[in-house]
Chain A
């Protein structure tokens, strides 16, 4: 595996390989000194063209626990305005000598474009509305950690599907592993031709709740109201938020997940945040573990490819 751009690149076997690697890194993270020399001497460029403290910190922590050197690159939108193309920017960074590039970009497809120009491995840290494969992998890990099997697992993803890279990658990952995915949103927050994503669709969270094994809430952006996609965040909360009443109707064995950061009072009521079914902090912990596995497999196999050629 040279690059990790989408879940589709992995398939079920690729996901399982990463899960197994993550299991061993989970053990590393339990040690008093949670660090191994696996990637000593490797340089990883973290290119965040869009701010994301959480994802950047998670990747950096993962890289450092593997003893890699991390080079930080923050692209302000001004460098784009100065006329430097994406290719120019990437070739400049690569010329400094990097083994892998983690890309976060507000434009869908930017990591795929970069992978065509770069010799280094490219890891997608989230692109536009398109994909966020490491988020999906950490979500899979979190569900799997609970002893759940995906075959037939009923997962409801609730919220702004249209503008969500997490939704697109998670639908792909969950379905690849055999889960049944239902998207729950008002029609304005579903992409046109949503059937292309291969999931069930509902506009009624209450009708879905009782038959849900994993309730996955997406972050609701305030700007969707300005775009007249929802009347108000209050109405959104009443129709699609996890209220205390809905939490009571959700099966006791269900898991509640969210990619963070949560909007209290919008996707989820404050009184539900501490519900014992919520796995949000486990997701964050597992993010480091899974990203260690991804970095290790990408850089390990890329090194093997290079020595083979």
Chain B
């Protein structure tokens, strides 16, 4: 089976160029303008579209096992494909926690046949309780490259030091591939009782605040420990301008640090909480316009490595509780690319780095995702019409949940086709199964 994508602008090894793409089997077999096309090839018209490496999300909550009423691996992967993703790193804060080889195997088994590659991350501590190390060696041996207690940060500095030291020894198992410790930075003693950013709006609204320092103090701690241990620390969902500056400095100092920001942290501010609608409740919280500006600057100058979604589905009725009782989290997979294209004034090559090649490298899947569109690469691709406008609607999404904070917002950038290992997962904007 061949797929012939013609008429588009490809993101190839030499940047953007007008070229057709021929996919046979699971690989790209040619790019150019006069490709010999097999008679039975499926023709895809990519006129006016970019043909890019498929997107990679470092941070999604697929909710399976345990909370399948909010999302399943199947529905989450379908949403991911519709959003242009070919790989998604699944967070381990499921029920039970993904903290053992058997649970990783379960997730991989469930994910067979899903519309994107599902890459399980495993917890750093057993049950994400911040007490005991998970069997990181065994997990690394079976291919796990990202460890995280996401939803919580590791509170105990001595334990974090131990995790970092242990992780640096695992590269002997992985053949030198990096083992990444992804930290949810939140000093809980500072954020306790907080449900939104601590600032002018929390003061007006009478909602307990989470100060920026609950994030930045843990970042400073982990940078100090990473400097000592040589571990690769990855900061999840950086939400503060101060945090961006801390990362900028740490990178300049040569610390092995990478960082992601979410779509909502560069598009929304704490003012959105003024309606008390828990759809705007998220951890870390939406912060100020100054934080948004700093994050955008960090995305532009390379301080921030990735755009992640922190896709966090919640059943509709759970967002019909009072603000302080409702669970935090927002949908992201189906809207992230469009928001990046609409809201960020970045060249398409940089968007692709942030959403594909950089996260693929961090997740250890750079052999098959995030590569330039050229012959010999695995055919994980997305065809996106960057100018096409559409309106975000929660109920129109593939997710089992509808908790998008962008309801009714018109954006530009429509995913037309997604190709996973040479097969169409999205065909003219519709999931193929």
Q: A residues touching B (Cβ–Cβ < 8 Å)?
A: 80, 85-88, 105, 107-110, 112-113, 117, 127-131, 165, 168, 191-197
Chosen A-B contacts, 7 in total, with CB atoms closer than 8 Å, are A88-B320, A108-B205, A109-B207, A109-B322, A109-B323, A129-B207, A165-B206
9 new A-B contacts, CB < 8 A, other than A107-B323, A130-B206, A197-B203, are A86-B321, A88-B317, A107-B322, A109-B276, A109-B322, A109-B323, A192-B198, A194-B203, A196-B203
Chain B, residues 194-206, CB within 8 Å of chain A (1/0): the string is 0000111111111
Per-residue A-contact encoding for B311-348, CB less than 8 Å = 1, 0 else:
00000011011111100000000000000000000000
Q: Are A128 and B203 in contact (CB under 8 A)?
A: no
Q: Tell me whether A109 and B205 are in contact (CB under 8 A).
A: yes
Q: Which residue of B lies closest to A194 (CB)?
A: B203
A112 touches B275 (CB 8 A): yes
| Residues from chain B with Cβ under 8 Å of A105 in the complex | 322
Verify A193–B199 contact, CB threshold 8 A: yes
B281 vs chain A, min Cβ distance (A): 11
Complex Cα–Cα for A117 and B316 (A): 14
C-alpha spacing A195/B199, complex, angstroms: 10
List residues of chain B with CB within 8 A of the CB of A165.
206
Contact digits for B290-327, partner A, Cβ 8 Å, 1 yes 0 no: 00000000000000000000000000011011111100
Tell me whether B277 is interfacial, beta carbon within 8 Å.
yes
Cβ-defined contact, B276 with A108, below 8 A: yes
Q: Which of B206, B318, B322 contacts A129 (CB 8 A)?
A: B206
* Residues from chain A with Cβ under 8 Å of B324 in the complex: 107-108, 128
Report the bound CA distance from A165 to B201 in whole Å: 15
- Say whether, besides A88-B320, A109-B322, A197 and B204 are in contact (CB < 8 Å): yes
Chain B hits for A117, CB < 8 A: 320
The answer to whether B153 has its CB under 8 Å from any CB of chain A is no
Report the minimal beta-carbon distance from B36 to chain A, rounded to whole angstroms.
60
0/1 interface trace, chain B 222-263, chain A, CB 8 Å (1 if under):
000000000000000000000000000000000000000000
Residues of B within 8 A of A129 (CB): 206-208
Greatest chain A CB density within 10 A among B200, B201, B320 is at B320
CB of B2 to closest CB in A, whole Å = 51
Measured CB to CB, the nearest residue on chain B to A109 is B276
| Bound Cα distance from A112 to B198, whole angstroms | 21
- Interface check B364, CB cutoff 8 A: no
A88 to B208, CA, bound (A): 25
- Please state if B317 and A108 are interface contacts (CB–CB under 8 Å): no
Question: Which residues of A sit under 8 angstroms from B323, Cβ to Cβ?
Answer: 107-109, 113
Residues of B within 8 A of A109 (CB): 205, 207, 276, 322-323
Q: With the chains together, A87 CA to B321 CA distance in Å?
A: 7
Q: CA of A30 to CA of B383 in the docked complex: distance in angstroms? A: 77
Chain A's closest residue to B319 (CB) is: A85
Among A107, A129, A165, which residue has the most Cβ atoms of chain B within 10 A? A107
The reply on B65 being an interface residue by CB < 8 A is: no
Query: Is B8 in the interface zone, CB < 8 Å from A?
Result: no
**Which chain B residues border A192 with CB–CB below 8 Å?**
198-199, 202-203, 209, 211
**Contact flag A128-B277 (CB < 8 Å), given A110-B322, A193-B199:** no
B320 in contact with A128 (CB, 8 Å) = no
* Chain A residues closer than 8 Å to B206, beta-carbon distance: 108, 127-131, 165, 168
Chain A proximity of B282: nearest CB distance (Å): 16
> In whole angstroms, what is the CA distance A161 to B233 when docked?
40
Contact partners of A88 in chain B: CB under 8 A: 317, 320
Name the prevailing secondary structure of the B interface residues.
loop
Is the CB–CB distance between B209 and A107 below 8 Å?
no
A169 to B200, CA, bound (A): 16
Measured between C-beta atoms, what is the minimum distance from A189 to chain B in Å?
13
Nearest CB to that of A190 among chain B residues?
B203
Specify which of B198, B207, B318 lies most central, judged by the most chain A CB atoms within 10 Å of its CB: B207
Q: Pick from A112, A131, A168, A193: contact of B200, CB below 8 A.
A: A193
Q: Is the CB of B322 within 8 A of A113?
A: yes
Q: What is the distance, in angstroms, from B192's C-beta to the closest C-beta of chain A?
A: 10
Question: Please, which residues of chain A bring their CB within 8 A of the CB of B201?
Answer: 196
Give A197's nearest chain B residue, CB to CB. Answer: B203
Known pairs A80-B325, A108-B276, A192-B209; A85 contacts B320 (CB<8 A): yes
Q: Are A196 and B325 within 8 A (Cβ)?
A: no
A191 pairs with B277, CB closer than 8 A: no
A108 — which chain B residues lie within 8 A by C-beta? 205-207, 276, 322-324
Determine the chain A residues whose CB is within 8 A of the CB of B202 once the complex forms: 191-193
5 closest A-B pairs (Cβ-Cβ)? A109-B276, A107-B322, A130-B206, A129-B206, A87-B320
Q: In the complex the two chains form, what is the Cα distance from A193 to B203 in whole Å?
A: 7
Specify which of B201, B202, B205 lies most central, judged by the most chain A CB atoms within 10 Å of its CB. Answer: B205
Q: A193-B200, A194-B203, A197-B203 are in contact. Are A112 and B320 (CB under 8 A)?
A: no
Query: Is there an interface contact between A112 and B276, defined as CB atoms closer than 8 Å?
Result: yes
- A125 to chain B minimum Cβ distance, whole angstroms, is 15
A241 CA to B86 CA, complexed, in Å: 64
How far is the CB of A182 from the nearest CB of chain B, in Å? 17
Could you say which of B204, B275, B320 contacts A86, with CB atoms under 8 Å apart? B320
| Whole-angstrom CA separation of A267 from B200 in the bound complex | 28
Measured CA separation A128–B204 after assembly (Å):
12
CB-CB < 8 A to B317: which residues of A? 85, 87-88
CB-nearest residue of chain A relative to B201?
A196
Q: B275, B320, B322 — which one has the most chain A CB atoms within 10 A of its CB?
A: B322
Chain A hits for B199, CB < 8 A: 192-193
* Cβ contacts under 8 Å, A193 to chain B: 199-200, 202-203
Bound complex: CA A130 to CA B274 (Å): 11
B203 adjacent to A113 (CB under 8 Å): no
A165 to B320, CA, bound (A): 22
Bound Cα distance A211, B205 (Å): 30
Give CA–CA (A129, B322) in the complex, Å: 13
Q: How far is the CA of A194 from the CA of B205 in the complex (A)?
A: 12
The listed residue with most B CB atoms (<10 A of its CB), out of A88, A192, A197, is: A192
Q: In the assembly, what is the distance between CA of A109 and CA of B205, in Å?
A: 8
Chain B residues with CB under 8 Å of A131's CB are 206
> Quick one: which of B160-210 are within 8 Å of A by CB?
198-209
Across the interface, name the chain A residue whose C-beta is closest to B323.
Answer: A109
CB-defined contacts of A80 to chain B, threshold 8 Å: 321, 325
For A168, list chain B residues within 8 Å (CB). Answer: 204, 206
Query: Closest residue to B315 on the A side, CB-wise?
Result: A85
Chain A residues with Cβ below 8 Å from B211 are: 192
B217 to A: closest C-beta gap in Å: 16
Shortest CB–CB separation between residue B198 and chain A, in angstroms?
Answer: 5
Complex: how many Å from CA A109 to CA B196? 13
B66 shortest CB reach to chain A, Å = 16
